[in-house]
Amino acid sequence: MAKQLTARQAKFCANYIDSGNAYQSAIDSGYSESTANNATAILVKHEGIAERLKKSEADTIKASGWNKSRIISELERIYMLAVNDDQLSNAQKTLELIAKLTNSMPTTSNTTVNHNVRFEKLLASAVPVLPADQPPKIIN
């Protein structure tokens, strides 16, 4: 359960929901211009405020009639239009959005490279070193 908001915090939420501008919302809810930047950083992380903002966002999305399924359908339609118009760059971007929404986007893996290995050591591990008295074999 979220903490009860003060009147100032509630006003900040209402202003922020309406404008999307945290700085101006802080000023409009009673913070001075000199402290508004610091206040916004604290306010948006406040458990009660974050919960209220998240709920407002969910309510807005629900009221709009948009959901994941509808968004994917629209993206599929846009993809087909792009392919039919030979706009392959747009088609690719649309496919990437669909992949992200459906969690089908391949993830990248991080590879650690050791740059402190000497070239001679790498060469020795890749190519066997012949004894000095043995001539190299020539393969035809």
pLDDT tens, position by position, 120-130: 666 666 666 66
Say whether both 22 and 55 belong to one domain: yes
Q: Is residue 135 part of a domain?
A: no
Indicate the SS3 state at residue 137.
Answer: coil
pLDDT greater than 70 at residue 113: no
Say whether both 59 and 72 belong to one domain: no
Q: Is residue 45 part of a domain?
A: yes
CATH code of the domain covering residue 41: 1.10.10
Residue 95's domain comprises: 68-101
Each residue of 30-43: pLDDT tens digit? 999 999 999 999 99
Contact call for residues 23 and 36 (beta carbons, < 8 A): yes
Each residue of 2-35: pLDDT tens digit? 578 999 999 999 999 999 999 999 999 999 999 9
Distances (CA, A) of 112 to 48, 109, 115, 125: 41, 10, 9, 19
Contact call for residues 101 and 72 (beta carbons, < 8 A): yes
Residues 30, 16: Cα–Cα separation, whole Å: 13
What pLDDT score does 28 carry? 96
Contact call for residues 88 and 82 (beta carbons, < 8 A): yes
Q: Is residue 90 part of a domain?
A: yes
Contact call for residues 26 and 43 (beta carbons, < 8 A): yes
pTM above 0.75, yes or no: no
Say whether both 37 and 15 belong to one domain: yes
Q: Is residue 56 part of a domain?
A: yes
Say whether both 78 and 58 belong to one domain: no
Q: Is residue 12 part of a domain?
A: yes
